[in-house]
Amino acid sequence: MSVLESLRKRSGLLVAIVGLALLAFVLTGLFERGSSLFGDSARAVGEIYGKAVEYPAFDVKVKEALENQKRNGNKTTLTAEETDQVVQQMWNQTINEQVMNKEYEKLGIAVSDEELYDLMVEHPHASLVRQLSDPQTGKVSEMFADKMTGQISPAKIKEFTQKMNDDQEQSWTKMEDWIKQIRVVEKYNNLVKKGLYIPTAFAKRDYMASNTNATVKYVFKPYKMIVDTTIKATDAEMDSYYKEHQNEFKQEASRKFEYVAFDILPTTEDFELAKAAAEKTAEEFKTKKTTEDSAYVVSESETRNYDMTFHTKGTLSPMIDSSMFKAEVGTVMGPIQENGSFKIYKLESSKFSADSAKVRHILIAYKGASSAGPTVVRNKEQAKSLADSLANLLRKKKGDFKEWVAKYSDDMGGKNAKADPTNPKKFVMGKDGEYGWLNSKSGFVEPFKDGGLDNKKGDIVVVEAQFGFHIMEIEDTKGKQQKVQVSCIENKVGPSSKTMQQVYVKASEFAGKNNTADLFQKAVLDQKLNKRIAENIKENDKTIAGIESPRSLIRWIYDNKKGTVSEAQEFGDKFVVGVITDTKEKGIGTMEDVKDVLATKALKKKRADLITKEYTDAMASAKTIEEVATKLKLQVSTPFPNVNFASGAGVPDLATDGNFLGTVAGIKAQTLSKPIIGNDGVFVVYVDSKTEAPVQKDYKAQQTSQLTTLTQRVDYEVYDALKQNANVTEHLVRFY
């Protein structure tokens, strides 16, 4: 029985939840069961436990989720990024169904109807509360909030569940499934956490090692003292290292792709054609009336923007800045070539305003305006009416500005501004609505600045801005400056179809003539082309540096073999021709795959062996660390106090070397260690003295601390471990 059915039995309900439409995408298709997802691997979007997840069944879920996303966002189409997110969410859901649900079923973890009712109504789960709250403010929707506390109200949930339509009922049912699954996950993780335990002996050992401090000195010989030219790792040594250290060579599937790009750039002819078109547009622009300009600019300009801003000198393009302040209104300038575009400018209006103005204001906000507080309930029309009324009364001297700031203003910053008790006459920004002097460069929104600068001393005006309606009084003005409004038709010069065809032919000829890896590399050298290299490309990557929207290219790379040369493929403003130069499959890398890393590691081991032998030979006759250093022509470090298993702070070369810290913790005082292979070299260490950690009666604090750290890892590491055990692979790029 669902919670919805329980609600109906208890109170004869039908539920209506305004706002749950926002949840439809999250809820739709979650944790559904149905037909098998397993099928032919050639049509697989991935594999779980070695079985293919069939594309057709998976795609049904994706399409349903995409439609929900569009419906909930009132969109007809989704961006590529939004689509990718939906696909990935559906894939994660599939993993959960095939991997995690098996664990839950095996352990008999479930959520009863009574428990689900409690989670949905009586004691709403935190995830449900978040979904019924404003994501911006975190406040519970008024529909579900208790008026006194602002918290979720079970009574209101019951009340609203009596008015649901069919779509909302479906969303609510899916919400139940979602909360049920969340609770199952919590139960599973809690079971794992409750099974964890830190024995007292472990806690004591960790406490003693981390709090027993030693004073040490050491001799250290870094690997870099043996230069590469003096030694070389043989094939046999590399083969031996490879066989003995397989886990160091685990790898994910990846590809290496080397390519050249043929940029699709406009030619001189393209610029000439674009200029001719711009000249024709400029002539037509001259014939337009001022009332027609905004529509004409929006229709003819690539930016689709009609600039209504009034500019001061120095803020326009340098190509027109001086001229526009001398021209007559209606003057058209251009076309002018700027930054790869042709621009046509028209002087729409000119006016004079103050250089600076001293102002004060009363802010009348409305619900939905920027920074409007929760107590603001009036709508925009009501706010405008109130602002106009107050402004008229102030103009007629029938109100006190300062008093009305305290009574009406929604500018909380100003209302909360306090005078300096040490200097009561000192100006405080915002106090009593006073904002002092402003100019065109002041950090206020443009409408507010214009309201102050474009009016005269003594004027009281109402200005609309993003925060609401400002009743502004211009207390004083200084200076005078000209401002101009200039519209701009801007069109970027792009390559013509003829140019694109020419570049395509060039790229295709290159691909056709150089269709093997050797020919490709030779042609790059002979023609001195700029070759780019994309390494470590994963099958589900979404980006390749320098290539726009490369998913189709990545798909091609994974569908072809090493040495294959691509055809010319178009990506944004270029055609790309490349060759697959390396392929690596998931698992233990072959010796060929890891040859560079292997050579480095084998050489490091050989250095370590050589240095270790030097130490061993020296220590055969040397009795002290000083004698060892002398024989090896090295220096003994100064003594370092307070070194323990948890910290080697301040110790050069070895501060973070676990082998060093472990050695110090493991040997007794007045003892010289054997040669130890470290991260960056080989060392011997002498523990001069040790101060043992104080003995404690119990180690419960250490047990609790270690257990807390361990349990925090459960929520993500258990899932990752099970996912890895299921050998999950994905091939989404083949289809999406």
| Low-confidence winner among 143-147, 363-367, 593-597, 633-637 (lowest mean pLDDT) | 143-147
Percent of the chain residues past pLDDT 70, beyond the cut: 94
> What average pLDDT does this structure show over 104-129?
92
Q: Is the pLDDT of residue 5 over 80?
A: no
Average pLDDT, the chain: 89
Band of pLDDT at residue 11, cut at 50, 70 and 90 = very low
pLDDT in tens, 295-307: 999 999 999 999 9
Does 593 score more than 90 pLDDT? no
Spatial contact of 426 and 419, defined as CB atoms under 8 Å apart: yes
Is the CB of residue 251 less than 8 Å from the CB of residue 584? yes
126-135, 157-166, 455-464, 514-523: range with lowest mean pLDDT: 157-166
Q: Which helix (H) or strand (E) segment is 471 a member of?
A: strand 468-478
pLDDT-derived band at 8 (thresholds 50, 70, 90) equals very low
Question: In the prediction, which pLDDT does 146 show?
Answer: 84
pLDDT value for 16: 31
Stretch 721-732: mean pLDDT, rounded?
90
Task: Please check the confidence at residue 76 and state whether its pLDDT lies above 90.
Answer: no
Range with lowest mean pLDDT among 319-323, 439-443, 623-627: 439-443
Q: Please tell me the predicted confidence (pLDDT) of residue 637.
A: 96
- What is the pLDDT confidence band of residue 17, given thresholds at 50, 70 and 90? very low
Give the distance, in angstroms, between the CA of residue 552 and the centroid of all CA atoms in the same chain. Answer: 24
Q: How is residue 708 written in tokens?
A: 């807390």
Residue 525: C-alpha distances to residues 566, 575, 710 (Å)? 18, 19, 56
Confidence of residue 42 (pLDDT cuts 50, 70, 90): low
Q: Mean pLDDT throughout 518-524? A: 97
Average of per-residue pLDDT across 486-507: 96
More confident residue, 37 or 543: 543
Alpha-helix residue ranges (DSSP H) falling in 165-305: 166-194, 200-211, 235-244, 268-286, 290-300
Considering only 20-34, 102-116, 435-449, which range has the smallest mean pLDDT?
20-34
With 70 as the cut, is the pLDDT of residue 324 above it?
Answer: yes
Nearest to 639 by CA among 627, 624, 628, 650: 650
Residue 425: the pLDDT is 81
For 325-458, list the strands marked E by DSSP. Answer: 332-338, 341-353, 356-364, 434-439
Delineate the domains of the chain, giving CATH numbers in brackets: 3-194 (no CATH), 213-251+594-691 (no CATH), 254-265+495-584 (3.10.50), 268-353 (no CATH), 366-473 (3.10.50)
Run of H or E including 587: strand 587-588
pTM over 0.85: no
CA distance 140 to 122: 16
Segment 387-400, tens digit of pLDDT: 999 999 999 999 99
- Checking if the pLDDT of 448 tops 50, the result is yes
601-656 per-position pLDDT tens digit: 999 999 999 999 999 999 999 999 999 999 999 999 999 999 999 888 889 989 99
The pLDDT, as a whole number, for residue 735 is: 87
Least confident span in 24-33, 113-122, 484-493, 727-736: 24-33
